[in-house]
Structure 1
Amino acid sequence: MTMNLIRWLYILVLIAVIVCVDVLFLRHHFTTRLIVNIGIVLLFAIVYFIVFKKS
């Protein structure tokens, strides 16, 4: 039950980071925003597979 909760919190943090970066820094730069969002998702995916797949 707690791992499921932690995974949902991880997804919520991912969404919050993407929205904050978009609103604060990349509001008027569509291509840059797309590339940065893909990078953020890839970074979160790498961390997810390193941390959560071991447990």
Structure 2
Amino acid sequence: MARQTVVVLLVAVMVALIVGVDILVFRHHFWARLLANIGIVLIFAACYLRFVKGT
């Protein structure tokens, strides 16, 4: 149960961060926004694999 809660929190924070970065920084820059979103997802995936899945 605790693992599911952590995963839900990680996904919620990731979505909030992606939307915030899109709106505040990269509103009119499609390719920069796409690369930043991919980078954010990769960082969250690495944190999930390292800290949540590894335990």
The TM-score, its normalising length taken from structure 1, stands at 0.93
Large movers: runs of 4+ above 2 Å: none
Using CA pairs under 8 Å that are at least 6 residues apart, name the structure with larger relative contact order, 1 or 2.
2
Runs of 5+ consecutive residues of structure 1 not aligned to the other structure: none
- Identity over the aligned pairs, expressed in percent? 45
Cα deviation code 1:22-51 (max 9, x no counterpart): 000000000110011001100110111000
| Alpha-carbon distance in 1 for matches of 2:53, 2:9 | 16
| Alpha-carbon distance in 1 for matches of 2:38, 2:54 | 24
RMSD between superposed Cα atoms in Å: 0.7
